[in-house]
Amino acid sequence: MRVRQLFVAGLLTALSGIPALAQQTETDAQSAERYFDRLDQKKQGFFTLADMQRVEGKAFKRIDINKDGEITLSEFTDGIPSDRQDIIDRFTRRFELADADDSGEVPLQEYMDFCARVVAAADANQDGMVTKEEFIAASSSGSAE
């Protein structure tokens, strides 16, 4: 269980995007909440895998700077100030999580599979809906120590 929680916690900042870096005092729970609100576009109090894939599908197109249908590490870390090696390292680890086959590129399908892993790990009661409570619990408990 702990590994699952860490996994979700590890994904959050990557998926929330670089603008999150402006608020470095933000806790994991706050970051999770902000990201949740972005996914819960209909304000229903939960999001589904389809919701996440719709939002992240758009993000993918933005990250894929050269529009070749695949994200590379340099595209993924583009825009991070070069003196923030800690952030670059964090994004690098997250890229490696998304790049399940270790090919150095993440095509859309791999990215969508990655979203499915996030939802599966966060949806504690496995009803297909990730509530804010589930999402925050999954993302904050793993980094509590």
Q: Does 66 bind Ca ion (CB under 5 A)?
A: yes
Q: Does 23 bind Ca ion (CB under 5 A)?
A: no
The full 3-state SS of 33-68, as one line of letters, equals HHHHHHHCCCCCCEECHHHHHHHHHHHHHHHCCCCC
Q: Does 78 bind Ca ion (CB under 5 A)?
A: no
Check: CB of residue 139 under 8 Å from CB of residue 29. Answer: yes
Check: CB of residue 51 under 8 Å from CB of residue 43. Answer: no
| CA distance linking residue 9 with residue 95, whole number of Å | 14
The site string for Ca ion over 83-102 (x = CB under 5 A, - otherwise) reads: ----------------x-x-
Nearer of residues 40 and 70 to Ca ion, judged by Cβ? 70
Of the candidate residues 23, 85, 103, 116, the single one contacting Ca ion (CB under 5 A) = 103
Per CB under 5 A, the segment of 11-19, 26-34, 82-90, 104-112 that binds Ca ion is 104-112
**Angle between the N-to-C axes of helices 49-63 and 108-122, in degrees from 0 to 180, rounded to the nearest 10:** 140
| CA distance linking residue 18 with residue 20, whole number of Å | 5
CB of residue 66 to Ca ion, shortest distance in Å = 5
Q: Does 109 bind Ca ion (CB under 5 A)?
A: no
Q: Does 125 bind Ca ion (CB under 5 A)?
A: yes
Interface ranges with Ca ion (CB under 5 A): 64, 66, 68, 70, 99, 101, 103, 110, 123, 125, 127, 129
